[in-house]
């Protein structure tokens, strides 16, 4: 049984469930992965907590994992990049958790996108905590991220717009961020926020969705 710790935000959790279903090579209902979704939008904002270093989301994240464990889940996915800031604490509860950044690195390898410069788009907390850089740099990718000004004026506002269901406005801001990363040498773009695949579908360079990457990693495990 797969447990999905979601609600961060609700739309990206729902999109993850859709993509997991769509990408699963199933011919019948019974071929799909049995899943429990724990969607709790009350979890405190992860970006604010990372900036304040207060760990407010940790307790409800742990509570969610315990709930999934009691539901019979023996592996967990978290379709929220910034929540992986607390990954090391969450795995201490003993249930394996698919790491979203490792799933992205697997997708880059599967698409033969190796030894290139990768542009990372993500929340301020994800980017400033070097969640992607610390893993991908070791594996051979050079990571570039938006400038501090672009994070504050383009990236973070786009996340707020998505949560407000203002997708067209969010897409405009994100495309400006993507164009800037490409102009700096990015040969692929990683959508390192699970909100972003809701609005970005195509680009002049390969786009890696952390939502799809996580779903594919889980499907591979359940084959």
pTM for the full model? Answer: 0.96
Residue-wise pLDDT for 32-84, tens only, equals 999 999 999 999 999 999 999 999 999 999 999 999 999 999 999 999 999 99
| pLDDT tens by residue, 187-202 | 999 999 999 999 998 8
CATH number of 101-209: 3.40.50.1860
Q: Decide whether 2-99+213-222 matches 101-209 in CATH topology.
A: yes
Q: Where are the domains of the chain?
A: 2-99+213-222, 101-209
The matching CATH number, chosen from 3.40.50.1860, 3.40.1410.10, 3.30.1540.10, 3.40.640.10, for 2-99+213-222 is 3.40.50.1860
Write the DSSP string, the chain.
Answer: -EEEEE-SSHHHHHHHHHHHHHHS--SSGGGSPPEEEEE-TTSPPHHHHHHHT--TTHHHHHHHHHHHHHTT-SEEE---SGGGGGHHHHGGGSS-EE-HHHHHHHHHHHTT--SSEEEEE--HHHHHTTHHHHHHTTTTPEEE---HHHIIIIIHHHHHHHHTT-HHHHHHHHHHHHHHHHHTT-SEEEE-STTGGGT----SS-EEEHHHHHHHHHHHHH-
């Amino acid at each position: 049984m797969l447990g999905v710790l979601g609600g961060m935000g609700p739309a990206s959790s729902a999109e993850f469930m859709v993509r997991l279903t769509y990408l699963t090579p199933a011919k019948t209902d019974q071929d799909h992965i049995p899943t429990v979704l724990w969607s709790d939008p009350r979890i405190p904002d992860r970006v604010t907590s990372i900036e304040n270093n207060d760990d407010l989301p940790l307790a409800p994240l742990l509570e969610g994992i315990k709930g999934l464990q009691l539901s019979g889940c023996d592996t967990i996915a978290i379709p929220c990049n910034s929540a992986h800031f607390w990954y090391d604490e969450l795995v201490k509860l003993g249930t394996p958790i698919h790491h979203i950044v490792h799933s992205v690195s697997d997708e880059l390898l599967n698409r033969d996108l190796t030894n290139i410069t990768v542009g990372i788009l993500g929340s301020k907390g994800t980017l400033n905590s070097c969640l992607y850089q610390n893993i991908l740099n070791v594996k051979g990718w050079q990571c570039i991220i938006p400038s501090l000004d672009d994070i504050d004026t383009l990236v973070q506002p786009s996340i707020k717009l998505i949560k407000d269901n203002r997708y067209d406005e969010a897409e405009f801001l994100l495309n400006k961020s993507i164009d800037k990363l490409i102009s700096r040498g990015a040969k692929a773009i990683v959508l390192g926020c699970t909100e972003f695949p809701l609005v970005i579908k195509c680009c002049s360079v390969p786009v890696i969705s952390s939502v799809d990457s996580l779903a594919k990693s889980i499907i591979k495990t359940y084959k």
